[in-house]
Amino acid sequence: MLLLLAPSAPAQAELATVRPFAVVEDSVVRLSDLFENAGPRGAAVLGPAPAPGARLVVEAQQLAAIARAQGLAWRPTGGTDRVVLERPGRAIPREDVLGALRAALRSQGLEAEAELELQGFAPPLVPERAFVQLAIEAASLDAAGGRFAATLAVAADGMPTQRLRLAGRVVPTVPMLVAVRRLAVGEVVRAQDVRLVRVPASRLRPGAAQAMEGVVGQALRRPANADQPLLLADLAAPVAVERGQTVTMVFEIPGMVLTAQGRAMEAAARGASVPVMNLASRTVVEAQVVAPGRVRVGGLR
């Protein structure tokens, strides 16, 4: 793989030594990557560097040929000499590829909230500090079958443009509400206590809350941990009247409103019916909870 250049300088007075291991940052391999004390010829280009993230082994026989061609004073030590050249690389983030792919497929009808599932995808490697450009070519979307295909072009300094074939499926997603923090039993859910996430429709838990209006203002019947889906069955209207609580009873009769003190016989939420005992008459009546600690009675019984 290494190109042998004709010598242009006399042999070195000082013997050169091989580098057992060298990291190549450039796109080419130079004489100084293989030998110490290469002298003025050290900058000579021998050939292309390994691909980012790959390595190249130069064995003793090839080292000897390169030294002779470059007029380098080097003596093999029994055929065991070798140099391992390694070029660092970094992987293109999967999210960057999906972002470029999503933008290309959107014009073909891809839903904004759909997820893309890449199949058999191995992130391409590029030089560690290279500026990278991604482009999607020949993208196609089969909306009916939920499949897509495209070609990813990766251009970066110090390497030829790579092209990889991409394929996968489109995964429809649905909204789901999860807790932001741990919520205790009886705690009333506020807007800042939950967040909306998108999950594949197949992973939506049965009975999971999907809209803020069905959750905010409700009380928890079971605790919920952070990032746990909230189930509608675990939510109820908050208790406005506790069992045994002293409440204000409002009697509404034509042309008059009377109040009295009573004791709630059961716990109840706002708007629910609750039996209340009038503390003065010891009569138990059905009342409707209208506010915390306040019930309304339709008439005297």
* Listed residue (251, 254, 301, 294) closest to 274, CA to CA: 294
Position 299 scores a pLDDT of 52
pLDDT in tens, 249-259: 999 878 788 89
Position 270 scores a pLDDT of 83
Instruction: Decide if domain 174-236 falls under CATH 3.90.1210.10.
Output: yes
Position 49 scores a pLDDT of 93
Predicted TM-score (pTM) of this structure: 0.61
Distance CA 165, CA 118 (A): 11
Write down the architecture of domain 239-297 according to CATH. Roll (2.30)
Contact 89, 126 (CB under 8 A): yes
Boundaries of every domain in the chain: 17-87, 91-171, 174-236, 239-297
- Tell me how many degrees the CA angle 223-224-230 measures, rounded to the nearest 5: 120
Position 96 scores a pLDDT of 95
User: In the predicted model, what is the mean pLDDT of residues 98-102?
Assistant: 94
Which alpha helices (H) appear in the chain, and where do they start and end?
31-34, 60-69, 94-106
Residue 240, pLDDT above cutoff 90: no
Position 5 scores a pLDDT of 42
Position 94 scores a pLDDT of 94
List, in sequence order, every residue forming a beta bridge with 176; answer none if it has no partner: 197
* Listed residue (85, 107, 112) closest to 26, CA to CA: 85
* Listed residue (123, 115, 219, 239) closest to 171, CA to CA: 115
Contact 98, 150 (CB under 8 A): no
Please give the backbone phi and psi of residue 68, each rounded to the nearest 5 degrees, phi first: -65, -45
Q: Are strands 125-127 and 89-91 parallel, antiparallel or unpaired?
A: antiparallel
User: In the predicted model, what is the mean pLDDT of residues 194-214?
Assistant: 91
pLDDT in tens, 139-171: 999 988 899 999 999 999 989 999 999 999 999
3 state DSSP class of 125: strand
User: In the predicted model, what is the mean pLDDT of residues 50-70?
Assistant: 92
User: In the predicted model, what is the mean pLDDT of residues 110-130?
Assistant: 91
Position 252 scores a pLDDT of 81
**Mean pLDDT of the chain, nearest integer:** 89
pLDDT in tens, 20-56: 999 998 899 999 999 998 888 899 999 999 999 999 9
How many beta carbons lie within 10 A of that of residue 23, not counting itself? 12
Position 14 scores a pLDDT of 67
Question: Do the domains at 174-236 and 239-297 have one common CATH topology?
Answer: no
Six-digit token string for 191 = 């807007």
Distance CA 234, CA 80 (A): 72
3 falls in which pLDDT band (50, 70, 90)? Answer: very low
Provide long-range contacts, Cβ within 8 A and 24+ apart, for 202-210: 204/174, 204/176, 205/176, 205/229, 205/231, 207/231, 207/232, 207/233, 208/176, 208/177, 208/232, 209/176, 209/177, 209/235, 210/174, 210/175, 210/176, 210/177
Residue 11, pLDDT above cutoff 50: no
* Listed residue (107, 63, 102) closest to 85, CA to CA: 63
Distance CA 199, CA 115 (A): 9
Contact 238, 219 (CB under 8 A): yes
User: In the predicted model, what is the mean pLDDT of residues 121-144?
Assistant: 92
